[in-house]
Amino acid sequence: MFPSFIPAEANNLTESTSLELLKRIEVESILTPFSEEFAPCSRGQLRCAKGDRARVKRLGKAEIVTTYVRQGSGTPPILLLHGFDSSVLEFRRLLPLLAKERETWAVDLLGFGFTERLAGISYSAAEIKTHLYYFWKTKIGKPIILVGASMGGAAAIDFTLTYPDVVNKLVLIDSAGLANPPFIGKLMFPPLDYLATAFLRNPKVRQNISRTAYYDKNLANVDAQICAALHLNCAAWNQALIAFTKSGGYGSFAKKLTQIEQPTLILWGKEDKILGTKAAEDFKKAIAHSKLVWIDRCGHVPHLEQPQITARAILDFV
At residue 43, the pLDDT reads 30
Residue 50's identity, in one-letter code, is K
Give me the mean pLDDT over the 153-179 stretch.
97
At residue 193, the pLDDT reads 64
At residue 56, the pLDDT reads 41
Map out the domains of the chain with their CATH numbers.
13-25+70-317 (3.40.50.1820)
At residue 114, the pLDDT reads 97
At residue 46, the pLDDT reads 45
Count of alpha carbons within 13 angstroms of residue 269, beta-carbon side: 27
Residue 315's identity, in one-letter code, is L
Query: Would you call 81 exposed, middle or buried from its count of C-beta atoms within 10 A (0-12, 13-18, 19+)?
Result: buried
Is the model more confident about 65 or about 38? 65
Angle at CA of residue 214, ends 212 and 220, nearest 5°: 90
pLDDT at 183 over 50: no
Rounded (to 5) percent helix, strand, coil in the chain: 40, 15, 40
Residues 6+ apart with CB under 8 A from 119: 36, 37, 236
At 112 the three-state DSSP class reads coil
Residue 255's identity, in one-letter code, is K
pLDDT at 107 over 80: yes
